[in-house]
Structure 1
Amino acid sequence: MSASSTTTSRGRPHLGPRVVITAALWPNLERLVDDVRGPLDRSPFLADLLACHVGRPDLIRHQQLAFCVANHDGIPGQPSGATRHCTVRVHPAVADALIAHAEGVGLPRAVYNALAIASILSSDGAETTAKQEGLPLAM
């Protein structure tokens, strides 16, 4: 058997260009993210949350994300002085929207990104996601 007759594609498919951003996660938020994300890697999970936050659900890669977030009712607590910067690789359109939103409210980008993640994972954000995923009732 020759090597040319047994070629198969390996690895992950290319997702296109990505931009590295940071989010300043405080300890309670970091624990909540790690609890909710389950087996997903942190960066892709956060990238999907941020894509949802800026209104780009077409860029969400993990379709089970909506169900994970919709079924969680924890609140990440308030930011404290001790934060850890977590890198996230997002689509350039998501990065541009996050930059514009952060500048619009006058917050550092990493802080705005963390607050956006917290708002999605809070009970209010989870209820919103659940409503968006729900099907209309038959009459």
Structure 2
Amino acid sequence: MAHRSRSSAPVEDRADKVCAVCGRTITWRAKWARDWPQVRHCSDACRARARSGAGEREELEAALRERLARCSAGTTACPSEVARAVHAARGGSGDGWRDLMEPVRQAARRLAADGELEITQNGVVVDPSRAKGPVRLRPVR
């Protein structure tokens, strides 16, 4: 007996998506075939953060855009610069900016998915979902 395909979704509808919260790539799975058009988050944790952190996401994206607007041609910015600036604007002091590093990287991944910036390592553009270690951000011009 031949095996039937588990998927009822046409191949062209299986394109990868970007998580609305963290900006990571969501790859199509057979168990999501019925609900694939409604999938917006890569995990339950991102789904929970989507309900609570919309204001912070907008704040961080605005701070990233502002920092990248100041970049001259051929220069890049470090995500830590944005985290430090947002932390200072909130009236924080000390190392509290480190708690903002992952949310800043998430905001950068979302902007990269929208085509507003590029994420680089050693001067080479990398896949935002798979980048590990220190990264730099540069505007798309």
**Aligning the two structures, in what range does the TM-score lie when normalised by the shorter sequence?**
under 0.3
Q: Is the helix fraction higher in 1 or 2?
A: 1
